[in-house]
Structure formats: C-alpha cells, structure tokens
Structure 1
Amino acid sequence: MAGSTLTRPQQLSFTPGRAARELGLKRNEFDLAVHLGHIRTVPDEGGGGPRVARSETDRVRAADGFPEALLKRVRVVGTTEGAEAMDIPVGRFTRLARLGVVTPVRFYLNRYRAVVWLYLAEELAQFAADEQNTALLHARRMPEGMRGLLDEGVDLRPRNWRARHREFLLRSADGPWESAGALAAFLDPVEIAELVRDPYERSYLNRFRPTPPHQGAPGTPAAHLTERIMTADDPDEISRLRRDLAQALEDARTVRPAPRPAGEQRPSATPPPPPPDEPAQHEAPRGLLGWLRRRSA
C-alpha cells in the first residue's frame, strides 16, 4: 500500500531465555529473580513451559533503579563472602547458618561433590545492620543453648533451603495436582506410598513432582546427594508435609480425579496419614527457635 510502512507485530510474551536477555540478566540471575517473585511468569498455552509477558518485562524495566536494584536483590554469595559481608569470621558464619539464623537460597555441588550453600547478599546485609543481632554476631561466645545444638551436630541448612524452595514451587503451581506434586517432591517414595494407596493416583501424582535442581545424570553420586538434600528427614517436617499433601490431594480429587482404565472404580477413600505424636508447629525458614523449644521440652 503506497505511503504506508509495514511493521512486525509486537511479541506478547518471551521464553525465559529471551526474557533474561531483554532484561540484561544472566540466566541464573533471571531464574533466581523468578524464584524470589521479582519477575512473574505465565503458563504457555501450548504447554511449552513458563513464559514472561512483554508487559512484565516492561514493568521490571520501569522500576526505580533498574537494573542495578534488581541485580542487587539477586546477588548471591558463598560462605567466605557472606562472612565478609557480615564482618564476622567464616567459622562463626558457618555455625550461624547451621543453626538456621541465616537461610540459603541455593546450593550446588562442586567438583569434589561437596555441597556449597549460597545466600542472598541483601538478606545478610540486612541481618548484620539490625542492632538486635549485634551480640549474636560479635559476642565472644555463643549462647549455651546454641553451642549445645552445634555439639549435637544440628545442621538446619538443608531443611531451611527445602522450606524456601517449597514456597517457590507452591507459588508456581498452576493447579491442585501441581500443588500436590510440589509437596510430594520433598517426601520419600515410601512415605508417598503409605499416604497414597491407589496406584493410579500415585502414578498420576508422580507426573507432577518437580525434579530436584542440579540433579545431574540419574543414578550418579551427585544425583543421590541432591535427592537426599531434597528429601525431608526431620519428623516434624515430614508430619507437616504428609498433612499438607493429604489436604492437597483432597482438593485435587475434587477438581479432577486421577485418570484410570475404563471400568476401574476409584477407591471410596484413601486412608488418612497417622496423626503425629504432637501438634506440628508452623515451620518458618529460620528454624532455630523450634529446635530450642523442642530441646527445652
């Protein structure tokens, strides 16, 4: 048409890789920003995984201080840098992390298959700046109760990471079966088999179980170690997960029963999980107080 200019239609959404480039982020920075809720994703109508709407990338770019402010929020540090950021010795930082005072946001396995925990630099700086934490950071000796827990070998880093990762998976779930799968991802298969007796339902649930991050090739030592970190091992944590999963399954059955062969009847009820010995406490990412309470009891 004379006098007119043809333009390409504006793309309405991006793949995660393209969205990261649009925002000037490395892929691991982008993934962490999504994990923390700083960048929102939408489901792909074609079933190809999450996407990022153009309106969302525009919103992020228009925020005050972009991109420096966003990069600051997703900066992670290891133990040595974390200790420097808090102005404490590395040994004290490690002890505080084991006690759950600071919570890891990521981990990876180094070439020696040792677990390397990573922390949000911004969270560490905020903790160190709080005057209420001065004694905990700089007192000559830790409180006796905390020293006792360390002597017993307490290490809350895996549990606290699981709590954080579980929040992300539940926030990202698109439906009740996805929510149930997110909870099941942290339970041993034996626990799931006890809780979900119907084999068709159990098989359907397993379709929605997210794989552990950084798992590597199945069957390798690294994969086994990652699965061990992903799997709940504390009785209180297991009891809460079983209870939450039982409720999530009830919701999922109401919305969409698990498929089964024609003529197969769904069991009338799935046996409920056995009640815990004591009421489960609300699990917060920082689990030190809970440990101290149980120790006092």
Structure 2
Amino acid sequence: MSEHTVTRSDPTCTTSRAARELDLRRGEFELAMHLGRIRTVPDEGGGGRRVPYAEIERLRSAPDHPEGLRQRLSVVGTSAGAGLLEVPATRFTRFARVGLVTPVRFYLNRYRAVVWLYLADELRQFAAEPYNASLLKGRMLPHSLRGQVQAGVDLRPRNWRGRHVGFLLRQAEDPWQQAGVFAALLGPGDPVELVPDPYERAHLNRFRPSLPAHGTPGSPAARVAERIMRADEPDEVAWLRAELIAAVEAARLEQPAPRPTPRRTTAPAPPPASPAAEPRPGRGEPPGLEPLPSRGDEVAQPARKAPAQPAPAPARARGGLLGRLRRGRARIRRGERPPRRT
C-alpha cells in the first residue's frame, strides 16, 4: 500500500508538502497551480490553499511522472522561444506584441527591463498548427498585423493580466471573492467610485487578492511591475468595471456585507424607595408585599385634621400710670364702671 493511501485525519496538506511529494520545485508548483494543472482547495482556517492527497495520488499515478509534468510546466524566454518556432528573435517578439503567443510569467532583470516567459508546450503547439505555417515561413507578416506592429501595439501586459484573472477566478469561492479579483486589477479610485457604500467596500477589500510582488514596495522595480499588473487599456478598464459592478450586485443579494449593530439604550432604573416610606409587612406576609383588600372591605378613611396652629401671642399691654388713666376715662365715656381694685 502506498504511503499516500494511508488513512489520515486531514485529507489535505500544505502546498510546500505537496511540492515535495510531487518532486517539483517551488516555482514549478506555483505555475502548475496558476494553470490549473494541480487542484487546490481553500484552507478552512484561513491559512492559504491546500492540496488534497487524492490530487497528489492522481498526479503521481501518471506513467511519465514527474518528468512529464515538468515538461508541461517548462517556460522559455524570447531567444529560446524563437528557437522552438524556428524564427528570428525579432519576429518572435512581433508575434508576442500582437498577441499570437501569450506570456505566462514575467520578471525584471537587474536593469529593470521586463523579461517575458512563455510556456514551451504552448509554443510547440503553435508551431504544429497548419494555419500558422504562413506566419512562421512567410517573409512578411499579414497586413493587419503589420499595422499593429507599426502602431506600437504591445498586448503582452494585457494578455498576462487576462491569464492571471482566469487563475484568480478559478480560486474564487463566492461572488465577493470574484468581485475582489476584478477590483485588484483596477486603480485604487475605481472601487471607491463603483462601490460607494463604505461597509461594502471594506468587505470587498478583505477578498481583494494581492498581486505578485516584484522588488521592495515603492522601489522603481515595484512601480514598473505595478504598471504591468494594473489595467490601462480603456476597453479593458471598462470590462473590469462592468464585471466588478455585476459581481458586487450578485454578492449583495447572496450575502450582504456585515454592518455594525446599533447599541440598545436601556432606560435608567428608578431610584430605590426610602426605607421610611415602605409600609411594614403584616404578620405572616413577606416583606415588600401588602395585602390587597377585598371589594367589601374597602372603607373610606377619615380625613386627617390639620394640626392646630399656635395662638398668636397677646399683644403686650401698654403699661404705666398714664395708660391706666386713659383706659379709665374711656370707660367713663362709655358709661362703664371702672374695675374695683382689690
């Protein structure tokens, strides 16, 4: 029994482990993933892509493994590609500029010049096609292609972007990830214009894949690579913008972007009653409860009398002999007898 058929708790492995199992170099394995030659699945823990052991077993069971897979993943530059087509290097460059052959990779050399790489297997197929014989053996290109070459058309960056979009879309699992693919190749201002809702735009940025890095961020090499990876043709930009709008609309219907939930405001609790105001519980009743009187026991309580106000203090009598004489004369005028002294 092969070691790959042994039952495992996890049916998948990391990409580095899969590359070792398949006897592939890291660059070859990444290219195989881009081309869809190796099936991968998303990591449920968010740790990148993983490879099922069943896929490794399928590739290892091929009779020409691993040399057959390596041959299908072999890449060549302009000089080697021209040798495969048996044409001069300048003619091969014209083929690439007008889009007859599509690059699969690129890198920047020490002079910051872009070096395009092509699949050797695709070039062999191009040379084997009968209708390409006139292109390979003729002394001049067709008139339509000559006009594009004279106009300075260079479709290599655009064709690479189209190939890279296809790779990213194959890995997308839902409409939000698909929308992130289209947003990745647009300028930074396009998502702001096309997705005005800030919560949807923030959710979209979570699924926006990072483009391949070339050099230190902000370096001249990185800026050259960024110009290649960003769409610049008007019709290409219009296509990406339309696809982004359609993908966001589909994602909005299937799974709306999360939004913050409003905070619940609770009414303040009433202040506790003063202990003096609480009635004393009756005998055999729990504290805080009052017995409810029956309908026949309702008796009107007499109104409480207001407390008696203290009598005003009598005015201080006017003392002195003169005061007594005046009061006596007033009694005589009224016909009253003066009080008898004791």
Whether TM exceeds 0.5 here: the answer is: yes
**In structure 2, the residue corresponding to 1:135 is in which secondary structure?**
helix
Q: Which amino acid aligns with 2:126?
A: F
Alignment map for 1:216-227 (pairs within 5 Å): 216-227=215-226
Asked if 1 retains the 8 angstrom alpha-carbon contact of 2:107 and 2:214, the reply is no
Distance apart, 1:83 and its partner CA: 0.4
Alignment map for 1:25-104 (pairs within 5 Å): 25-104=24-103
**TM-score w.r.t. structure 1 length?**
0.83
**TM-score w.r.t. structure 2 length?**
0.72
Moved more, 90-99 or 33-42: 33-42
Q: Which amino acid aligns with 1:252?
A: A
Give runs of ≥4 in structure 1 deviating > 3 Å: 7-11
Q: Aligned residue for 1:160?
A: 159
Alignment map for 1:278-293 (pairs within 5 Å): none
Alignment map for 1:102-251 (pairs within 5 Å): 102-251=101-250
Structure 2 spans left out of the alignment, 5+ residues: 1-5, 264-342
Q: Aligned residue for 1:254?
A: 253
What RMSD, in angstroms, separates the aligned Cα atoms of the two structures? Answer: 1.7
**In structure 2, the residue corresponding to 1:25 is in which secondary structure?**
coil
Q: Aligned residue for 1:270?
A: none
Asked if 2 retains the 8 angstrom alpha-carbon contact of 1:23 and 1:61, the reply is yes
Q: Which amino acid aligns with 2:248?
A: L
Q: Aligned residue for 1:274?
A: none
Q: Which amino acid aligns with 2:117?
A: L
Q: Equivalents in 2 of 1:161, 1:144: separation in Å?
A: 25
Q: Aligned residue for 2:292?
A: none
Q: 1:193 to 1:8 in 2, by over 3 A?
A: closer
Distance apart, 1:10 and its partner CA: 6.8
Distance apart, 1:66 and its partner CA: 1.4
Q: Aligned residue for 1:285?
A: none
**In structure 1, the residue corresponding to 2:43 is in which secondary structure?**
coil
Q: Which amino acid aligns with 2:227?
A: R
Q: Equivalents in 2 of 1:180, 1:9: separation in Å?
A: 35
Moved more, 194-203 or 166-175: 194-203
Q: 1:260 to 1:151 in 2, by over 3 A?
A: same
Distance apart, 1:262 and its partner CA: 2.8
Q: Deviations over 1:64-90 (max 9, x none)?
A: 321122111111101111000111000
Q: Aligned residue for 1:271?
A: none
**In structure 2, the residue corresponding to 1:118 is in which secondary structure?**
strand
Number of residue pairs the alignment of both structures matches: 258
Q: Which amino acid aligns with 2:235?
A: D
Q: Equivalents in 1 of 2:86, 2:52: separation in Å?
A: 41
Greater C-alpha radius of gyration = 2
Aligned identity (percent) is 59
Q: 1:253 to 1:62 in 2, by over 3 A?
A: same
Q: 1:258 to 1:88 in 2, by over 3 A?
A: same
Q: Equivalents in 2 of 1:93, 1:9: separation in Å?
A: 49
Asked if 1 retains the 8 angstrom alpha-carbon contact of 2:108 and 2:214, the reply is no
Distance apart, 1:63 and its partner CA: 2.1
Q: Which amino acid aligns with 1:84?
A: G
Structure 1 spans left out of the alignment, 5+ residues: 1-6, 265-297
